[in-house]
Amino acid sequence: MNLKTVLTKDTISLHLKGTTKEEIINELLDVLVAAKKIEDRDAAYSAVMEREQKMSTGMKHGIAIPHGKSATIHDLVACIGISDTPIDFDSLDHEPCRIFIMTLSPLEKTGPHLQFLAEISLLFKSAEKRAEILKAATAEEILKILAE
């Protein structure tokens, strides 16, 4: 799984405006709709929120990975959003989040979904990478950081 095949400058949003978990999720879905990555926004929203109700996708180190699976998704899609202000996302370490990586995948394909989540978690274990992403001024910069 190559992050560059899933993420494009159209699927990266700097300066998210939301102040709650739900607002951030809605903003990320808007990014995917605008990039023409999802057609059924309501189904995608339901999938992500259903997953959030089972257990928060707020991880550690200021990162949240809201995700879900839906019959309306045919291939794994993803987007990244960066918030200028920390957002409470019910994280495992109880710290607020600023980096959000949303992914949606088909119900019947688990391989790409798990591979993507594993690659993202490895990438963001690096404090330097997290700091670089938070400092990035453009979507292109973020793509470059992810490709390193």
Condensed to tens digits (0 to 9), the pLDDT of residues 58-70 reads: 988 999 999 999 9
What's the CATH number where 89 sits? Answer: 3.40.930.10
- Average pLDDT, integer, range 111-122: 79
Domain, as residue range, for 69: 3-147
User: Element (H or E) spanning 115, and its range?
Assistant: helix 111-123
Condensed to tens digits (0 to 9), the pLDDT of residues 80-103 reads: 999 999 999 999 999 999 999 999
Angle at 116 (CA atoms; ends 110, 117), nearest 5 degrees = 90
**Of the candidates 147, 148, 10, the residue with the CA atom closest to the CA atom of residue 78:** 10
For residue 7, what pLDDT is reported? 92
Q: How many CB atoms lie within 10 A of CB 41?
A: 14
User: Does 122 have pLDDT greater than 80?
Assistant: no
Q: In the chain, how many domains are there?
A: 1
